């Protein structure tokens, strides 16, 4: 298992089938607690911008787990919402974060980093 597909080991068989059937934001998200930061992908540019904002005091205004999407073409889970929360965790030198998988399937809107 590569690091980019490491979230699979957190899911049971039913959750795995749920993700693979390509659910969307109108379906129930899957919440996973204490996920290592290297177990999913994120945009380096988006994280850099969010990190600069957080250092200037512009912290996240959204509570809770960061949102991930699953790209079946690349077998990758990636951040689609929560870069400021991710930046806050990284700046605090924490190693894990809570996530929620909110959609799966191909989308032109989200670009996998």
Domain ranges of the chain: 3-97
pLDDT of residue 25: 84
Model confidence at 74, pLDDT cuts 50, 70, 90, reads: confident
Mean predicted lDDT score pLDDT of the chain = 90
| CA dihedral sign of residues 74, 76, 80, 83 | negative
Alpha helices in 1-110 (DSSP H): 13-20, 44-55, 83-91
pLDDT of residue 109: 54
| pLDDT: which is higher, 75 or 67 | 67
Q: Does residue 56 have a pLDDT over 60?
A: yes
Residue 31 belongs to what H/E stretch?
strand 30-36
Q: What is the pTM of this model?
A: 0.89
């Amino acid at each position: 298992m590569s690091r980019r597909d490491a979230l699979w080991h957190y899911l049971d068989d039913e959750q795995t089938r749920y993700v693979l059937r390509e659910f969307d934001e109108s379906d129930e998200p899957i919440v996973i607690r204490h996920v290592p930061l290297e177990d999913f992908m994120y945009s380096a540019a988006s994280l850099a911008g969010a990190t600069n904002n957080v250092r200037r005091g512009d912290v996240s205004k959204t509570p809770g787990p960061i949102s991930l999407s699953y790209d079946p073409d690349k077998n990758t889970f990636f951040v689609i919402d929560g870069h400021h929360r991710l930046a806050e965790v990284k700046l605090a030198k924490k190693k894990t974060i809570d996530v929620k998988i909110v959609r799966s399937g191909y989308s032109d809107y989200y670009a996998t980093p």
